[in-house]
Structure 1
Amino acid sequence: MTALLEMRGIGKAFPGVRALDHVNLSVEAGEIHAICGENGAGKSTLMKILSGVYPQGSYEGEIVYDGETLALRGIRDSEAKGIIIIHQELALVPLLSIAENLFLGNEVARRGVINWPEAFQKTEGWLAKVGLNEPPATPVGKLGVGKQQLIEIAKALAKDVRLLILDEPTAALQENDSEKLLDLMLELKAQGVTQIIISHKLNEISRVADRITVLRDGRSVSTMDRDEISEDRIIRDMVGRDMAHRYPERVPNVGAVLMEVEGWSVWHPEQRERQVIHDAALTVRRGEIVGIAGLMGAGRTELAMSLFGRSYGRGQTGTVRMNGQPVDVSTVQKAIAAGLSYVTEDRKVLGLILEEPILRNISLANLAGVALRGVLDKRREAQVAEDYRRALAIRTPGVLQKVVNLSGGNQQKVVLSKWLFTDPQVLILDEPTRGIDVGAKFEIYQLMNDLVAQGRGVVMISSEMPELLGMCDRIYVMNEGRLVGELTRAEASQERIMGMILGTTGKAA
């Protein structure tokens, strides 16, 4: 095979940060090439250079593509060469139809008039190639994330893609949709489409990748062929050290019941007859990590958000007790005062104000903690943020850095800092390690262990069963808005959890 792409000596700097330092990457024609690295290693920055998001002149080094040195001035230049990127945050317009999204900026038109019959016909053809049969007129916003991801690939195919770049394509997908996407990648490879995938899911990379390049601290440190790939080696190259244990060790010291939820029911905010949560009951003890397992749509996030200040749903009924006493969680402020905090699964939309600096985001949920007689104390705010920056090892030049410029793992640490500053007794973590690397995951796991060692309680919602099994003292299983089972650490296994979800086995909650 011959190299379709070579990126030589690539360097890129942002204010206060050296994102890339002499990175080299070679991608052969027709292969699937994976790029791995911790958050902040420079993976997405490198791909933004390749796709024209960062034009020539804003970086050092050269790009040779199909034997030609590229001078990309923008995304249109890269797309004209058949280089298409699909970002982690999908670039679809929810209110537009599939056909409109597919040809947005690339309209099927003659003399300025769109030929809709032809556009719809072509849309059906491209959708068939990615395994979808939705009508072309369907608004994209009515489709699930998995189907939207496939539409992004169909959109790339419609632009005569030769090199397809996928940035964390399965980060927000459940297991079945992830499998379909990986199968499609292998089909595209068989059709001659070269692909680059950025992913933190090492099992998926091992399944589809022909070669892997690992970045660490903005530098390319290794490239390995398929027969050399192992999770242990990838992790070692990513973090610069061996990780003998994926999950930090902890000796449980579980105490008295800290939080009790009884008879908790919630109705859909718009569909008035639809009950989303049915009579849920759970407990969290001091020093305990409690997991909630379930498939996408089981109601895990809805349960958590409804408990946290009724942030989701309507008509909530039931009782919440902290330390044996009923508490009012009817607003976010009252839930925080009761000792409850919630780290959302969607940090960019619901967890952070991206254009604000780190210190403002950390103080946001507890302004009283950085105020003097009702007036914001900027020195106190900066000191609190600096303390959390050091404690959680947030990689940044300073706390005045805008959150939008941080990697995903460091953004997650800012969200955690914000809620830790409210001094919670029970911290609900909704997909806390989604889209972050193994090194940052380990740090968050260690933080969870530290919290329960202080006598607090942690509730962990995760779609990764190995994560739940590795971290939790007890696991509740949820299906269709009901808690259908409860397992201790000794009883829990992937098979038993799936059996409870499918109703084939289990122990009553």
Structure 2
Amino acid sequence: MSAYILEMESITKTFPGVKALDDVNLQVEQGEIHALVGENGAGKSTLMKVLSGVYPYGTYDGKILFEGQECQFKNIKQSEELGIVIIHQELALSPFLSIAENIFLGNERQSKSMIKWQETFAQSKKLLERVGLKESPETPVMEIGVGKQQLVEIAKALSKNVKLLILDEPTAALNETDSENLLKLLLELKNQGISSILISHKLNEVSAVSDSITVLRDGQTIETIDATNEKISEDRIIKGMVGRELTSRFPERVPKIGETIFEVKNWNVYHPQQTDRKVIRDVNIHLRSGEIVGIAGLMGAGRTEFAMSIFGKSYGKKISGELYKNGKLIQVNTVSQAIDHGIAYVSEDRKTYGLNLIEDIKRNITLANLTRISNGSVVDENKEIMEAQQLREKLNIKTPSVKQIVGNLSGGNQQKVVLSKWIFAEPNILILDEPTRGIDVGAKYEIYSQINELAEEGLAVLVISSELPEVLGLSDRIYVMNEGRITGELSSAQANQENVMHLMTGTGGN
């Protein structure tokens, strides 16, 4: 019998005008963690959709062998019946159902038309113990955090007698502790004989747990690296991904900082449902033209809540405090007012709050400033195409046309479309919330370069990021938040990981 649990041979997948996969080969050994890496648009997710039956047999060329047998999957159900289970970056859980109901959704424990609830909860409890989750199976999924929801997804996969577990960016939305716990679980599953394919842009995690690393670039297999005998460096992986050495993760910049153009004074925000719970407490910050200011903080520190609350009160109740632009008090009670005052907000959740996924690129880009391409109340489509095309070229959005549907783009290119939309709105103050979440190193560098260019043009840029090296690498000045408060302000010269971490955890700093 083959040592490989999975062999994908000469896989080629073509969409209209684009060859997404070109003669790709992938071999996964029994009981290993096999990482699949590459820039956004390299073909990683497409390859996994071919494997799992999302793209059924007949829509691609090539051969799939699982446990030595050729497979011709017509749908996901057929691949799952053989033990191939994929967990997507956007979790497929119903928030209103219990953990147990989610685990067995579509795979119910039943007799004729009746659910066997006792068996459902008993088996769920065993599966939760196996993944290290202590919650009751009866707990609604909406009451647990994203890290625990990931564990529920893995428990769901285990309920299907998984043999090959595919995880697409499993730690993208997790804090450091939850990420470490998830990686430990992958290693435990490996010890139990379960093979895993890990798709991740967090190369430190890839090098920490992987036995093999396959690199895709532009829809082709570049190499497979054996990581069992020595730890493979991030720089070594990056060289394969981008085809060159990436000597610096952050582009060089000499800041030209001007006058203060935006101030937030004595800002307080209460939770939208638990209206007696104060989420943001007496926050004071200022932003200057040409300056990139970072906000660092642990998960739950209130960074996103603060940003959304100042962007037209998109979050919170009983909001109090004052906003000043160029020294004048302004009223920003709606998103429209925020845009009118030159404030733009790039959400951490681009698919829910940043994009219309069923619309094309040009319409997504122009949506926040339609008056710029309109004659009266009529959109000038030629002007819309021209403006969108200029931004597509400026931000290197990898697509043949601005008429491409945004939902068909890779995560990195979707993020560039969101950024293009707010650049088109011509803001003075740009708030970027997790601007590179789920994006590869090459696309990150391009977005960092664009952020620097916007600051060079005189914008005040506020960057929120859970990646501390990103905050340190981009920012001229850093505010640190803990439990809804600003616990410190550091210049770039003062800021290092130790000082910021002290302030993030509320233990003081230097």
Give the structure 2 partner of residue 296 of structure 1: 299
Contact 2:482 2:506 in 1 (8 A): no
Q: Deviations over 1:54-73 (max 9, x none)?
A: 11001110001111111111
Question: What are the within-5 Å matches in structure 2 for residues 72-471 of structure 1?
Answer: 72-226=73-227, 227=230, 229-471=232-474
Shift of 1:112: 2.5
Q: Deviations over 1:383-436 (max 9, x none)?
A: 111111111110111011100000000000000011011111110000000000
Letter in 2 for 1:5: L
CA RMSD of aligned residues (A): 1.0
Q: Structure 1 vs Structure 2: percent identity of aligned residues?
A: 60
Shift of 1:503: 2.3
Q: Deviations over 1:438-482 (max 9, x none)?
A: 000000000011011111111000000001111101110001111
Shift of 1:330: 1.4
CA distance in 2, matches of 1:504, 1:167: 35
Structure 2 counterpart SS, 1:69: strand
Shift of 1:500: 1.1
Structure 1: segments with no counterpart, 5+ residues: none
Structure 2 counterpart SS, 1:503: coil
Shift of 1:340: 0.8
CA distance in 1, matches of 2:506, 2:99: 36
CA distance in 2, matches of 1:129, 1:268: 35
CA distance in 2, matches of 1:176, 1:366: 40
CA distance in 1, matches of 2:320, 2:159: 50
CA distance in 2, matches of 1:504, 1:115: 50
CA distance in 2, matches of 1:368, 1:142: 42
Shift of 1:16: 2.2
TM-score (norm 1): 0.98
Residues 19-28 or 309-318, more deviating: 309-318
Letter in 2 for 1:417: S
Shift of 1:113: 1.6
Residues 389-398 or 312-321, more deviating: 312-321
CA distance in 2, matches of 1:26, 1:302: 44
Structure 2: segments with no counterpart, 5+ residues: none
Does 2:45 match 1:44? yes
Give the structure 1 partner of residue 6 of structure 2: 5
TM-score (norm 2): 0.98
Letter in 2 for 1:366: N
Q: Deviations over 1:234-269 (max 9, x none)?
A: 111111121110100011221211211111111111
Letter in 2 for 1:197: L
Give the structure 1 partner of residue 483 of structure 2: 480
CA distance in 2, matches of 1:329, 1:119: 50
CA distance in 2, matches of 1:279, 1:346: 26
CA distance in 1, matches of 2:322, 2:198: 46
What is the count of residue pairs matched by the alignment?
Answer: 507
Shift of 1:322: 1.4
CA distance in 1, matches of 2:218, 2:140: 41
Q: Deviations over 1:63-110 (max 9, x none)?
A: 011111111111111111111110111111111111111111111112
Structure 1 counterpart SS, 2:490: strand
CA distance in 1, matches of 2:391, 2:321: 35
Q: Deviations over 1:159-199 (max 9, x none)?
A: 11010000000011111110100000000001110000000
Structure 1 counterpart SS, 2:481: strand
Shift of 1:493: 1.2
Letter in 2 for 1:266: V
CA distance in 1, matches of 2:235, 2:93: 36
Residues 105-114 or 117-126, more deviating: 105-114
CA distance in 1, matches of 2:19, 2:55: 15
Contact 2:207 2:231 in 1 (8 A): no
CA distance in 2, matches of 1:474, 1:254: 11
Residues 261-270 or 434-443, more deviating: 261-270
Contact 2:208 2:231 in 1 (8 A): no
Shift of 1:115: 1.0
Shift of 1:275: 1.1
Structure 2 counterpart SS, 1:468: helix
CA distance in 1, matches of 2:325, 2:458: 13
Shift of 1:18: 1.2
CA distance in 2, matches of 1:391, 1:315: 41
Letter in 2 for 1:352: L
Contact 2:279 2:484 in 1 (8 A): yes
Residues 251-260 or 473-482, more deviating: 251-260
CA distance in 1, matches of 2:322, 2:175: 31
Shift of 1:501: 2.1
Give the structure 2 partner of residue 22 of structure 1: 23
Does 2:68 match 1:67? yes
